[in-house]
Amino acid sequence: MSIVVDIDVLMAKRKISVGDLAVRIGITPANLAVLKNGRAKAVRFTTLEALCEVLECQPGDLLRWEPEAS
């Protein structure tokens, strides 16, 4: 996958748990884990907006593109 999700990095910097973040953004911890581990196929803008609000960051701090290894 060429899109890398860095939610765990920001969670560590902000010292927030998966459970607490899930509650604050309004999704289940299981769905947050899917997103955090890069297994999600899509993310709603409302979820991205909530993540940015709670983690006090920009979307580019959460998601980045890396070229696939050839």
Query: Residues 15-68: pLDDT tens digits?
Result: 999 999 999 999 999 999 999 998 999 999 999 999 999 999 999 999 999 998
Q: SS3 sequence, 2-55?
A: CEEECHHHHHHHHCCCHHHHHHHHCCCHHHHHHHHCCCCCCCCHHHHHHHHHHH
pLDDT at 1 over 70: no
Q: Which of 64, 60, 50 is nearest to 22 (CA)?
A: 50
At 21 the pLDDT is: 98
pLDDT at 69: 78
pLDDT of residue 12 exceeding 70: yes
